[in-house]
Amino acid sequence: MSGLSSPKKLALNAAFIIICIGILIFLLRAPKETTSPLPHDDIHNRFHAMKGKKEAEQYCLDCHGPEKEAPLPADHPPKYRCLFCHKRQ
Ligand code: HEC
Ligand code: HEC
């Protein structure tokens, strides 16, 4: 970094910090505000009661798989671990 004059260094550092804050805000806000939690209803209550996430996730695609009663939307993101995104709250 010895070749840079210090105002330029300062500007680069400031830009770096602003980008980091932007990414942080994006990561903290995006999942929370857009992804619906696991519903509390007669269908889903038994999955709230299960201890392990993996244990509960085995059953999701029985209804949310393609051709089933509540298929996922076509633009659904990768879906390996349902409960990492659809939180149990
Ligand atoms: C017995 C069938 C069945 C199973 C098993 C099932 N679901 Fe559902 N799910 C439904 C139906 C039907 C709906 C739509 C009606 C409703 O919201 O209850 C739904 C709705 C949802 C919604 C949308 C809620 C909203 O706000 O729109 C999410 C998220 C969801 N399920 C996640 C899961 C996850 C994760 C699992 C596995 C742990 C799971 N479901 C297992 C039938 C099922
Ligand atoms: C990488 C994160 C992620 C994973 C993993 C994931 N989902 Fe989703 N899911 C989403 C997002 C984002 C949406 C659309 C926005 C929303 O939830 O409102 C969505 C939408 C849905 C919907 C439509 C109802 C709604 O809330 O709009 C259902 C039902 C659903 N997901 C069930 C599941 C099931 C079942 C699994 C596991 C097989 C799963 N999801 C895995 C992120 C995820």
Domain boundary assignment for the chain: 1-34, 36-89
Which ligand 1 atom is nearest residue 83's CA?
35
Alpha carbon distances (Å) from 24 to 12, 19, 37, 69: 18, 9, 22, 37
With b meaning 16 or more CB within 10 Å and e meaning fewer, what string describes 52-85?
Answer: eeeebbeebeeeeeeeeeeeeeeeeeeeeebbeb
For the Cβ of 6 lying below 6 angstroms from any atom of ligand 1, the answer is: no
pTM of this structure: 0.80
* pLDDT higher than 70, residue 15: yes
For the Cβ of 73 lying below 6 angstroms from any atom of ligand 2, the answer is: yes
Topology of the domain comprising 36-89: Flavocytochrome C3; Chain A, domain 2 (1.10.1130)
Q: Summarize pLDDT for 35-76 with one digit per residue, the tens.
A: 899 999 999 999 999 999 999 999 999 999 999 999 999 999
CA-closest residue to ligand 1 atom 35: 82
